[in-house]
Amino acid sequence: MRIFALLVMALALAAPSYAADDRRGLIPYVWNDVTGDRDMPWMGKGGRARWFLRDTTKPWDMDPRGPKIEIRWGSSGASGQSPYDAAERAVSYLDRIGALKAWPSYPTAEGVGPRRAFPYRVTIVCIEPVVAILRFDLSAVIEDPIEFSFGAYPPRHRENSTDQRLGWPGVANAVMFGTHVSSRGSLLWFSPDAQVAPTVLDLSSGRARIALRDVSFDVVRQAEEIEVRR
């Protein structure tokens, strides 16, 4: 019974993040823009990314897990990338440079991979290249109960927090995305694509800057949240 419960939990954690409303009215076999009210990350060259779904379910499919839905983000579905690959890349980079090494791991179980008790929330604020912000939050070492998970998000995301997260690739809590981050706790930024290790974001003046060779952002504190601007 315990093994079955763990398998159910693993499937729930690995499940793609799309609202039931996103699937309604999808045109089969083509990319559908279902961005809606999501606070999408910036793209390195251009404006905000968009959120796309494609239903590839065949009429004769009898998969008990439901329809086959592909997810991409970017300027289009055809040229976009999997958001889950970006989350995995961000966490894998932190692991590769030793940023996760100091923190204990949860015991592994059948169907559930290793996860670090990492006391930071990870928010992807840009793709192509991937740029993410780390926010120190001691409660992040424990998986958030669903009914309380909104407390990890900035005020702007709390009404649709389930649409602003990507799953649990190697850490206890979900990787998030968007241009707004809670302002509580110390902040750092990093980029796995540009090979930039976690770097302090000094917001003592109310503003800071994220600068890479081909892209830069202003980070502005606004009451309970910070905003990443072009």
User: What pLDDT digit, counting tens, does each position of 121-138 carry?
Assistant: 999 999 999 999 999 999
Domain around 218: 83-229
Q: What span, in angstroms and rounded, lies between the C-alpha atoms of 78 and 72?
A: 8
Which residues lie below 8 Å from residue 16, measured CB to CB, with a gap of 6+?
A: 69, 71, 84, 167
Report the pLDDT value the prediction gives residue 23, as an integer from 0 to 100. 64
In whole angstroms, how far apart are CA 153 and each of 156, 175, 209? Answer: 8, 11, 21
CA 168 to chain CA centroid, nearest Å? 9
Q: Is 189 part of any domain?
A: yes
Rg (CA), the chain: 18
In whole angstroms, how far apart are CA 169 and each of 33, 74, 125, 179, 192? Answer: 25, 21, 17, 21, 15
Q: Is 5 part of any domain?
A: no
- CA nearest neighbour of 38 among 178, 133, 199: 178
Q: Is 195 part of any domain?
A: yes
Confidence of residue 18 (pLDDT cuts 50, 70, 90): low
Helices (H), the chain: 2-14, 20-23, 83-96
Report the pLDDT value the prediction gives residue 10, as an integer from 0 to 100. 41
Q: Is 149 part of any domain?
A: yes
The residue ranking higher by pLDDT, 225 or 4, is: 225
pLDDT above 60: residue 188: yes
Q: What span, in angstroms and rounded, lies between the C-alpha atoms of 87 and 164?
A: 12
Q: Is 140 part of any domain?
A: yes
Q: Is 26 part of any domain?
A: no
pLDDT above 90: residue 54: yes
pLDDT above 90: residue 62: no
Q: Is 33 part of any domain?
A: no
130-148 average pLDDT score: 88
pLDDT above 70: residue 35: yes
CA 34 to chain CA centroid, nearest Å? 17
Q: Are strands 176-177 and 196-200 parallel, antiparallel or unpaired?
A: unpaired
pLDDT above 50: residue 113: yes
Report the pLDDT value the prediction gives residue 85, as an integer from 0 to 100. 95
Q: How many domains does the chain have?
A: 1
Q: Is 12 part of any domain?
A: no
Report the pLDDT value the prediction gives residue 60, as an integer from 0 to 100. 77
Phi, psi of 153 (to 5 degrees): -105, 155
pTM of the model: 0.87
